[in-house]
Every structure is written in C-alpha cells, then in structure tokens.
Amino acid sequence: MKNNIKIQTRNYGFYYGNTKVLADIDMDILKNSTTAIIGPSGCGKSTFIRTFNRMNDLIVNAKVAGEIKIDGIDIYKDNIDVVDLRKKVGMVFQRPNPFPKTIYENIVYGPRLHKRCTKQQLDNIVEVSLKKSALWDEVKNKLRGSAMELSGGQQQRLCIARVLAVDPEIILMDEPASSLDPISTQRIEDLIDELKENYTIIIVTHNMQQAARVSQKTAFLLTENIGEPAKLIEYDNTDKIFTNPSDKRTENYITGRFG
C-alpha cells in the first residue's frame, strides 16, 4: 500500500497569523484515485487543498505546521521550486476562469511558460489536452475563437484542459461543478472518473451525492466550536463513509442534521 501513496500529511496545521484554522490532520492520499473533501462551509476545505500546491503562500501571514509530502518529498522545504510544484499539482477553481484569449492560446500558455515547443508540438498538446478533457469534438473547428464565447460547462472543461497541458500528476478541484447546470455537472463528473486512471484527484465539494459518485476516499473536516480550528473527523473509503461511518458527527453531517 505504501507504494500507492501519493500525498502524506502528518500533524498538519494551518494558521492565519496567530489564528489556527486547521489542526492535526493526518492523511495518506492514494495515487490514481479521487479523494473528496467534505465539511460545512468555512471549515477550511479549500485552504487545505491549496496546501498541496502552496497557493496559500500568497496569503500574508499564512503559516503551515507539520509535514506535507508528495512522493515522499516535503514540499515546504526551502529548496523546493514552487513553479515546478505548481506544474506537478494543477488546480481547477470553483468558477471557470479562462484567459480572455483564444481557445488555442489558453491551452498553450502553460507549455510555452515551462519549455520551448515547436508549433507542431503545441498543436499536438492542444489536441491531446482537449481530447482528455472531452472538449475536442466541440471546439476543434474554432480553436482560434475566443474562450469567453464558450458555455460555462465548456469553459470549465477548457480550464481542465489547460491544467492537463502542462502534464501534472495531481489535480486539485475546488467545487468544480458548483456553478454549472446538471448536464455540465454530469460531464465534469464523468471526466473526473476517466482522469483518475492517470492522475491523483482531490475534490472539494458541498454536494454529498457528488462526493459519493466520484470519489474512492472521503475526508470529513469539521470545526466543532467557534474559534477552534477544524479537524479531520473521519477519513475512509467513500462507501463506508456514506453507508456506515465510524463517527456520529460524520453521520449527522451527511444525513443533513447539521452543516
């Protein structure tokens, strides 16, 4: 099992200044799988996943405690190249955020940033990335058209393609379907199911049915009392979390008794 672990957190905590918002999180996240992070609003789910690509570094007075390892390497060591880390750990946000450029230019932005590519190589990256994100057939004849003219669901799949274009190993998804209609949401969920064959996916979602559908493991975070940091209440196989949770607090949350 150890060889199948992609990410490890040990005694993980997170601070805004002197305020501790997350505490004592120990998790082993498996490679080539989807892990759902659930919990009430404001419990630090998004903050937690942004730890893995160090986006929280951009927050003034933010501080991490404990240990975060990817492939056995502590990503908060001084010698870590954060640009390389963010290439390895891509992120898809709650609302689609395509660049105000063409579809083609959205996809090639990252590859151009990280390496020198020929026009043929870039063309290939665009086609492969759009096929992986299940968008190619819809846009292959309008690659030079504006990304802003796509529907919301198409824009989100374009953002996923943009992440895939730099060949990541881990994809973080922060409520990627919360602003989409049911048909677009289904497409994103189907895509997650396909992508997990080759990528490690971590998804934050408020939708319990979605967590149950797309993930193999589920982590439940909870702040029990105002002013206290959120903690990991339970982390287990998704089937067990949703049918026979070990902790009464987990059961109360997923059945809608609070949160």
For 64-82, the pLDDT digits (tens) are: 999 999 999 999 998 999 9
Q: Residue 114: what pLDDT?
A: 79
Q: How do strand 62-70 and strand 73-74 relate by DSSP bridges?
A: antiparallel
B/e letters for 42-79, b = 16+ CB within 10 Å, e = fewer, are ebbbbbbbbbbbbbbeeeeebebebebbbeeeebeeee
pLDDT category at 30 given cuts 50, 70, 90 is very high
CB-CB contact of 221 with 37 (8 Å): yes
pLDDT above 70 coverage of the chain, percent: 98
For 124-173, the pLDDT digits (tens) are: 999 999 999 999 999 999 999 999 999 999 999 999 999 999 999 999 99
Tell me how far apart the alpha carbons of residues 27 and 201 are, in angstroms, rounded to a whole number. Answer: 14
For 197-243, the pLDDT digits (tens) are: 999 999 999 999 999 999 999 999 999 888 899 999 999 999 999 99
CB-CB contact of 57 with 4 (8 Å): no
Nearest to 159 by CA among 216, 88, 92, 104: 92
